């Protein structure tokens, strides 16, 4: 479970949740999603963010595959887990920043239907 960040550094979302301090300004954020939770992992150097969108998983996946395929990012691997209705995209920064992580896109069929976008981003210290 993610906790809301204190004094974060980015766009707000539903309930006033903001992106955590240190969130890369050039990381692609899906426009039709709201931040549900964001934090910096206790061990530091890793940002965790969860968004929610009413768009389809295919729309969200297409966005992240396209945008993380552009400089300075690069898609390393894409894995579909059909039985969980989830896609995991592994990515890394091409330039000297060294950031890497995963975006997990999952269809949730409760309280209606929506998509969660869970980012785990490691930032070298």
For 11-44, the pLDDT digits (tens) are 444 456 999 988 999 999 999 999 999 999 878 7
> What's residue 12's pLDDT?
44
Query: Which residues, at least 6 apart from 125, have a Cβ–Cβ distance to it below 8 Å?
Result: 44, 45
Domain boundaries in the chain? Answer: 14-122
pTM of the model: 0.86
Pairing between strand 114-122 and 86-93? unpaired
Could you tell me the fold of the domain covering 14-122? TBP-like (3.30.2030)
Beta bridge pairs of residue 123: none
- Rounded Cα–Cα distance for residues 93 and 82 (Å): 27
Q: Note the Cα 90 to chain centre separation in Å.
A: 11
Q: What confidence tens digit (pLDDT) does each residue in 36-80 have?
A: 999 998 787 899 999 999 999 999 999 999 999 999 999 999 999
> What's residue 39's pLDDT?
94
């Amino acid at each position: 479970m993610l906790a809301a960040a204190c004094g974060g550094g980015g766009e707000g979302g539903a309930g006033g949740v903001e992106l955590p301090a240190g969130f890369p300004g050039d990381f692609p954020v899906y426009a039709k999603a709201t931040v549900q939770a964001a934090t910096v992992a206790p061990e530091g150097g890793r940002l965790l963010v969860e968004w929610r969108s009413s768009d389809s998983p295919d729309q969200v996946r297409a966005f992240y595959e396209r945008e993380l395929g552009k400089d300075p990012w690069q898609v390393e691997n894409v894995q579909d887990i059909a039985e969980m209705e989830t896609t995991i995209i592994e990515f890394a920064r091409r330039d000297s920043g060294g950031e890497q992580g995963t975006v997990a896109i999952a269809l949730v069929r409760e309280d209606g239907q929506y998509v969660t976008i869970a980012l785990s981003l490691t930032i070298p210290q």
